[in-house]
Amino acid sequence: MRRKQREKQRQQPSLTFNIEALSHEGRGISHYATQEGHPIDKTGKKVFVAFALPGETVNAQVHETHKKYEEADCEMVLANPSPDRIEPVCPHFGICGGCSLQHMHPDAQIRFKHDVLASHFQHFGGLEPEQWLPPLRSTRTDYRRKARLGVRWVAKKDRMLVGFRERKSSYLTDLNVCKVLDAQIGERLEQLKQLLIGLAGRENISQLEMAIGDEIANVTADGQAIDNKSVAMIVRHLKPLIDSDVQQLLAFAHEVNWQLYLQPEGYDSVHRIDQPDAPMRLYYELPDFNVRFAFSPLDFTQVNRDMNRQMVTLACDLLDLKQGERVLDLFCGLGNFSLPLARRVGPSGQVVAVEGSSEMVARGFENAALNGMNNLEFYAQDLTKDFSYQPWAAQGFDALLIDPPRSGAEEVMHYLPKFNARRIVYVSCNPATLARDAGILAQSGYRMKKAGVMDMFTHTGHVESIALFEKS
């Protein structure tokens, strides 16, 4: 079916479009016009053109038609190339679904993301912060430290595919390099292909899950030496691997000094084989706070280390914490913000950290112990459900930090005034839900003092943002 759709797309004529603006996903917006080459009966219909920039006149091929709009891909810039247009850094751009904005200068990308956030604030109640924060910037390549790579052996073509899904397709992109992945992975894709090709069970390998931590040279709080292997690879296999295949994987892991895991079934089946008695742990550090975190390769962590360091420091600075204050950290994960907050309030202060996953709560306690900190409490609680009966929720707090999933924290917003906190920092991975929740906070008497964007995912349309609210 997919091949038939592609063949039909190739048969569609290329049309000329004048790009007027960018959508919230970063696609060019145009409309059919009464000009040569445009069907008259479509006049005024909106067209989203991928890889096109405002002001440009482009040739584009429509690949999807809907009742109210159509979708197209830019094939060529005919006139007025945008000053923001640059040559993509990756040879696979446009085919691979991992990046969507490599044709746009990173400075323009961050301006675009700022505009998306501002647009959502305006849409939800006409909000605007009293002060826009300067954007937090990241490296343009070599930044992504977590990835799930698809694997497929194509016997008819005698080829091994390793990569992300193609745009709008279930097919794998045949990558030989990835410029946004940390170079320890992104520059080794061909090496990984050759490794997998040599396995007898190569057709049964379906996925490689990669995670990278920091290289740690010191020791833990209990005096045990930390494993300094900073890269972990989890091999998902659909059938048991023969011993010679396992030995080849081990030899590779030893050569590149990686941790190696096998996953024969679900996530519960993941087990380490390079050092079977060693813990399933990687580590990362936040030097500004002198804290270190242990995490499983399966845990959620921020994919961009440098941006995470800047983000945590900014969040703590915005809260302007004093020694002895009490802070509530909602959706705390493994304590990425909790431990730095605890450093800021000092031994006389307290941080209460709440997370829906009991496994992440256990990791939070582990990390508090790893850093010798005893002014934190972690609680497991589904924050989409009523939590007013919980003892921790009956306490007052000087400040709150919220870092919810993409769905936001609408259920939590209505309860926040009861905590009587004067300052709230909201970290968001979805500007639409941040704007919605900001509207609820405004109705509860909170002013949006500051807000800004953070370039967590350069070359993608993903918008990471942060906002400070203060009680009127």
DSSP string covering 25-75: TS-EEEE--SSTTS-GGGTT-EEEEET--TT-EEEEEEEEE-SSEEEEEEE
Query: Which parts of the chain have pLDDT scores under 50?
Result: 1-7
Hey, what are 135's tokens? 């954007």
Q: How many CB atoms lie within 10 A of CB 243?
A: 8
* Annotation marks residue 429 as catalytic: yes
* 291 touches 366 (CB < 8 A): no
List pLDDT tens digits, range 57-81: 999 999 999 989 999 999 999 999 9
User: Which of 280, 278, 340, 281 lies closest to 315 in space, CA to CA?
Assistant: 340
List pLDDT tens digits, range 159-216: 999 999 998 888 999 999 999 999 999 999 999 999 999 999 999 999 999 999 998 8
Alpha-carbon span 252 to 421, nearest angstrom: 53
Cα 400 to chain centroid distance, Å, stands at: 23
Q: What is the pLDDT of residue 217?
A: 73
Average pLDDT, the chain: 93
List pLDDT tens digits, range 458-471: 999 999 999 999 99
Q: What is the pLDDT of residue 1?
A: 38
Give the amino acid at 110: I
Q: What is the pLDDT of residue 2?
A: 44
CA trace torsion 135, 451, 292, 138 (10° rounding)? -10
Q: What is the pLDDT of residue 417?
A: 84
- Going by their DSSP bridges, the two strands 291-295 and 28-31 should be labelled as unpaired
| Burial of 97 per CB tally in 10 Å (0-12, 13-18, 19+) | middle
Helix (H, G, I), strand (E, B) or coil at 161: strand
pTM of the model: 0.93
The DSSP secondary-structure symbol of 178 reads -
